[in-house]
Amino acid sequence: ETRVQNICFVGAGYVGGPTAAVVAYQNPNIQVSVVDKNSERIESWKSRHLPIHEPGLEDVVRIARDGIASRTHSSGSDERSMSQRSPNLIFSTDVEKCISEADIVFIAVNTPTKEYGTGAGSATNLAALESAAVTIAQFARAGAVIVEKSTVPCGTARTIQDIFAVHRPNDKFEVLSNPEFLAEGSAIRDLLCPDRILIGSSRSPSGFAAAAKLQSIYSWIDKSKILTVNTWSAELAKVVANAMLAQRISSINTISAICDKTGAEIDQVAAAIGSDSRLGSKFLKAGIGFGGSCFKKDILALTYLANSLHLPEVADYWMAVLAVNDFQKTRFLDKIVSKLNGALYGKKITVLGYTFKQNTNDTRESPAIEVIQKLAEERPSEIAVFDPGCTALEIRHSIDAFVSPAQFQNLHTYDNVYDACSGSSAILILTPWEQFKSSKLKLDSQDINLTSPTVSSIDASIPDPALARSPVPTKPAYSPTIYGELKTVSPLVEPPECPPDCQRCQTPAA
Ligand code: NAD
């Protein structure tokens, strides 16, 4: 009765897609579907060109989605039978059907900051979550377990329960909180080897039974890493984890401002602090501040919660983390302008790195966007942008969404780092991609370290011979490392054919 045979993920984004793929990969006997109302995204998940770039993702998706053919040849005396496997992962726009077949339904839709009405600019916009919950309430099997995978405000499980009470008054459903802690850029590794799995349930026999059912699909994770807590603790813990990570970045960034005005060096200070085992060394790299779709929105949601609980001191404390993040970007821009003698007019400026962090193609809330917007006001002759994770066209489309064409006529995006740097007065490394660090592009300073800002007046019109010898790939050099047990499986089934006019195939190959 408790055996899980079918799971549905609602929302095929940065969380739903990779999480479903790893769950399917690790549970060959469970059918996993990922549904989304965005048909373009679903088509992309079905194709050779996944909508999301993550090291290792392609392999996991291909194994689970396309299966593994039985081994036809043997190499020498080694005739180990490789486990053949049938596909158990599908991507679909048939939301209702997939939901109706599932024993567990995950909600992995977007929960951005609300931009209008009550709570505009800080509350969480739960429209997508509510609409998904209504569809699930209408179509789910009686007794299916509903799981919040999205990051939600504390108390959201009750809202979902209320929706179910209206649509299915005669059936009983458990709503669990199972927030996702993966970091973009290392999503597959994080899913295969998470620090913990957090499961929040109601403290009742049916709540515990639902939690046990959910736990059973995390078959590859050591029991000691599974934390079972009450629903509200799980919901709140996710938001606070992000707020605390962001807070560390802002903390070290405030110190970088002090370093700039004294003789102290931020990297030395950070190393000294980080070697204290009580503090640890992670998230102590000073830079232009955090971006991405999560940190800011989760801090805003936390302050909204604090204010609505009449705890203004708590809200103010967390708002300061965001204020420092803005301050840091302003300092960086001021520094660029002053390094270039206050005059960007007529100069070419190169921005290397447009994604919000390395090893992802996600550009949401990237600090680069604001830097580019502000630089444009200084009227340089050209702003050149290159990122190893996005094609020139993808960067263009993203930037076009933020600014008017007139403002950006001098903005050019590149598929090649040399062309982007050629003839530039300044190269700004805004994302710490490995290739920017390891190549000669390192220039004379550290990636995004503000105390020695990555502004260098180099004349890149003459190609640097060292750079030419070790070319910087124009596409992500995804780590060939395959995590977990993946390395033991082969051969894969050929991925689906592309249509003859496939646009993505025309872009430079990896
Ligand atoms: P996303 O925008 O990439 O994906 C969400 C998807 O849900 C979209 O494709 C959208 O079309 C789909 N969707 C929305 N409403 C739907 C509906 N009613 N029916 C079907 N599909 C619907 O978002 P994401 O980055 O994957 O984030 C999802 C959630 O996970 C958010 O709550 C986020 O805070 C949280 N989270 C994100 C990360 C991250 O690194 N991106 C990490 C942990 C948690």
3-state SS of 437-461? HHCHHHCCCCCCCCCCCCCCCCCCC
* Average pLDDT, integer, range 141-169: 98
Q: How far is the CA of 417 from the centre of ligand 1 (A)?
A: 32
Cα of 249 vs its chain's centroid, Å: 17
Burial zone of 87 (CB within 10 Å; 0-12 exposed, 13-18 middle, 19+ buried): middle
Model confidence pTM above 0.80: yes
- Other Cβ atoms within 10 Å of 43 Cβ, number: 13
294 is catalytic: yes
What's the pLDDT at 338? 85
67, pLDDT greater than 80: yes
- Mutate which of 36, 196, 302, 363 to test ligand 1's pocket (most atoms within 8 Å of Cβ)? 36
C-beta 128 within 6 A of ligand 1 = yes
CA-based nearest residue to 297, from 260, 270, 326, 322? 322
| CA pair distance 471, 296, nearest whole angstrom | 36
What's the pLDDT at 458? 33
Q: Which candidate in 294, 421, 498, 505 is catalytic?
A: 294
132-136, 252-256, 287-291, 486-490: segment of lowest average pLDDT: 486-490
Model confidence at 507, pLDDT cuts 50, 70, 90, reads low
Ligand 1, atom 17, residue with closest C-alpha: 132
Model confidence at 337, pLDDT cuts 50, 70, 90, reads confident
Ligand 1, atom 14, residue with closest C-alpha: 109
Average pLDDT, the chain: 86
**Pairing mode, strands 348-352 and 411-414:** unpaired
* Average pLDDT, integer, range 136-157: 98
* Residue 62 assigned to a binding site: no
Supply the ipTM of this predicted assembly. Answer: 0.99
- Look up residue 120 and give its two tokens: 């505009």
- Look up residue 338 and give its two tokens: 């002053």
CA-based nearest residue to 508, from 384, 416, 386? 416
More confident residue, 432 or 311: 311
CA-based nearest residue to 34, from 18, 56, 50, 51? 18
Q: How far is the CA of 36 from the centre of ligand 1 (A)?
A: 10
What's the pLDDT at 434? 81
Q: How far is the CA of 322 from the centre of ligand 1 (A)?
A: 23
Helix (H, G, I), strand (E, B) or coil at 423: coil
- Look up residue 33 and give its two tokens: 């579907």
- Look up residue 189 and give its two tokens: 């590794």
More confident residue, 241 or 342: 241
C-beta 151 within 6 A of ligand 1 = yes
Q: Given the structure tokens 């050929």, which residue do they identify?
A: 494
Q: How far is the CA of 21 from the centre of ligand 1 (A)?
A: 15
- Look up residue 19 and give its two tokens: 């999480």
More confident residue, 162 or 437: 162
What's the pLDDT at 324? 96
What's the pLDDT at 62? 94
Query: What are the helix (H) ranges across 262-294?
Result: 266-274
C-beta 146 within 6 A of ligand 1 = no
* Residue 428 assigned to a binding site: no
Residue 441's alpha-carbon distances to 6, 414, 452, 465, in angstroms, are: 49, 16, 15, 12
DSSP 119-182: TTTTSB--HHHHHHHHHHHHHSPTTPEEEE-S---TTHHHHHHHHHHHH-TTS--EEEE-----
Amino acid 331 reads R
C-beta 38 within 6 A of ligand 1 = yes
Cα of 200 vs its chain's centroid, Å: 23
What's the pLDDT at 459? 29
What's the pLDDT at 469? 31
* Residues 145, 151, 156: CA angle, nearest 5 degrees: 60
Burial zone of 270 (CB within 10 Å; 0-12 exposed, 13-18 middle, 19+ buried): buried
Model confidence at 454, pLDDT cuts 50, 70, 90, reads very low
Burial zone of 357 (CB within 10 Å; 0-12 exposed, 13-18 middle, 19+ buried): buried
* Average pLDDT, integer, range 46-67: 95
What's the pLDDT at 504? 72
* Residue 408 assigned to a binding site: no
* Residue 287 assigned to a binding site: yes
Q: Is residue 21 within 8 Å of 89, Cβ to Cβ? A: yes
CA-based nearest residue to 126, from 105, 112, 108? 112
Model confidence at 40, pLDDT cuts 50, 70, 90, reads very high
C-beta 148 within 6 A of ligand 1 = no
| CA pair distance 44, 33, nearest whole angstrom | 15
C-beta 109 within 6 A of ligand 1 = yes
C-beta 15 within 6 A of ligand 1 = yes
Burial zone of 137 (CB within 10 Å; 0-12 exposed, 13-18 middle, 19+ buried): buried
CA torsion sign for 313, 314, 317, 320 is negative
Q: How far is the CA of 419 from the centre of ligand 1 (A)?
A: 35
All domains of the chain in start order, with CATH: 6-221+484-488 (3.40.50.720), 241-469 (3.40.50.720)
| CA pair distance 44, 52, nearest whole angstrom | 9
What's the pLDDT at 499? 80
| CA pair distance 264, 79, nearest whole angstrom | 62
277-286, 306-315, 478-487: segment of lowest average pLDDT: 478-487
| CA pair distance 357, 376, nearest whole angstrom | 22
